[in-house]
Amino acid sequence: MSVSEPEPIVYDTDSAIFNDDAAALAMLLRRPDRVDVLGVTVVAGNHTVPQGAEHMLHLLELVGAEDVPLHLGAHAPLVNTPERAARQEARWGPISFKGAFDEGPDVRPPHGGRFAAVRPRPADAASFIIDAIESRPDEVTLVAVGPMTNLAHVFRTRPDLAPRVRRLVFMGGAARVPGNVTPAAEFNLWFDPDAADEVLRAGVPEMVMFGLDITNHAPVRKTLFDRIVAADTPLTRLMQHHMGPRYARDPAATYYVWDCITAAWLIDPSVATVSETLPIAVETAFGPACGATTVTDPGDPRGRPVEVMLDLDVGAFYELYSELLTAP
Ligand code: RIB
Ligand code: CA
């Protein structure tokens, strides 16, 4: 693959109405010169899989990308459960967001009140990802912006394929800053720490981490939000629907747009200004640190080399974010 060709990616997502999984996908789809979205795979995390799939199908329809296949993935983490989360809270204090663990089985229609005409494809997420890697060995980048359960199933089924992935780019973890759902853990890795642990140890040749270290740097404030929604396109109307009420209640509110920073870097790597390759391990033991990403000591066999993104050209990111989300 020459450097000028778009990077083939599988977008593995725990979905959102808009912020941030859906917004990040819209950004990627608007730069086909940089990324070729082979498919979207949905995993439980922010939402249950059936609910999350409806949000992402709606997004695909809204941006005219109905030809991008969407596949349903793992409905539950490898080990973590709502009951275990409740036990964790009872012993070690509140978990500020539990996503799909707090959602019931009902599936609500997306914004507009109508389910998208485009439906999920029959193959499950793991089978789709396996086919993608097999048909383009050494070329496919796995972009994981949710818990890594689907990817863990891929490498449990086909451990031989891990070295044939081009790279894993993931949003998750926190190397040198506190977590966002517990003092120790970031949501994606907290929801399924065992999957993240397995995937990081699977043998993918290159791994790039967009953890809270970098994603904390660029919260979206009302001024930027107002400028974007003023474009008044179908996409910005969805943004207004999802994010507007919070800004209306509290003009000082901020939204973190974690996955969008990951997407921005895939489009323009110059947005990340500082990174370090660090030995990273995931804490899987049931305890207050469950789901934490640890920078291990030299010689600790648990650590895997991960390029950890640490700082951002915030102005360049806001510009790209706003340009892509306001495009007609
Ligand atoms: O902690 C932030 C991450 O958790 C983001 O990917 C967000 O979309 C949720 O999945
Ligand atoms: Ca996400």
Convert the pLDDT of each residue in 195-235 to its tens digit: 999 999 999 999 999 999 999 999 999 999 999 999 999 99
What is the structure's pLDDT at 3? 55
By most ligand atoms within 8 Å of CB, the mutation choice from 11, 21, 293 for ligand 1 is: 21
By most ligand atoms within 8 Å of CB, the mutation choice from 20, 150, 169, 210 for ligand 1 is: 20
Does the pLDDT of residue 48 top 80, yes or no? yes
Contacts of 256 (CB under 8 A, 6+ apart): 20, 180, 215, 216, 219, 220
Q: Which CATH superfamily is domain 7-326 in?
A: Ribonucleoside hydrolase-like (3.90.245.10)
Atom of ligand 1 nearest to the CA of 45: 10
Q: Using a 6 Å cutoff on CB, does residue 187 contact ligand 1?
A: yes
Closest CA to 171 of 209, 213, 115, 201: 209
Mean pLDDT of the chain: 97
For residue 257, the CA-to-ligand 1 centroid distance in Å is 8
For the stretch 59-109, pLDDT in tens is 999 999 999 999 999 999 999 999 999 999 999 999 999 999 999 999 999
Structural domain boundaries of the chain? 7-326
What is the structure's pLDDT at 229? 98
Does the pLDDT of residue 4 top 80, yes or no? no
Closest CA to 43 of 146, 154, 153: 146
What is the structure's pLDDT at 69? 98
Does the pLDDT of residue 42 top 60, yes or no? yes
Other Cβ atoms less than 10 A from the Cβ of 84: the count is 14
Q: Using a 6 Å cutoff on CB, does residue 46 contact ligand 1?
A: yes
Does the pLDDT of residue 2 top 90, yes or no? no
For residue 190, the CA-to-ligand 1 centroid distance in Å is 10
DSSP string, 117-145: SS---SS-HHHHHHHHHHHSTTTPEEEE-
pTM, 2 dp: 0.97
Atom of ligand 1 nearest to the CA of 145: 6
Q: Using a 6 Å cutoff on CB, does residue 188 contact ligand 1?
A: yes
> Which of left, alpha, beta for 233 (phi over 0: left; psi -120 to 50: alpha)?
beta
For residue 63, the CA-to-ligand 1 centroid distance in Å is 22
Q: Using a 6 Å cutoff on CB, does residue 145 contact ligand 1?
A: yes
Q: Using a 6 Å cutoff on CB, does residue 186 contact ligand 1?
A: yes
The span from the CA of 140 to the CA of 230, in Å, is 36
Does the pLDDT of residue 34 top 80, yes or no? yes
For the stretch 259-281, pLDDT in tens is 999 999 999 999 999 999 999 99
DSSP string, 149-186: HHHHHHHHH-GGGGGGSSEEEEE---SSS--SSSSS--
The span from the CA of 95 to the CA of 88, in Å, is 8
Q: Using a 6 Å cutoff on CB, does residue 180 contact ligand 1?
A: yes
Atom of ligand 1 nearest to the CA of 188: 4
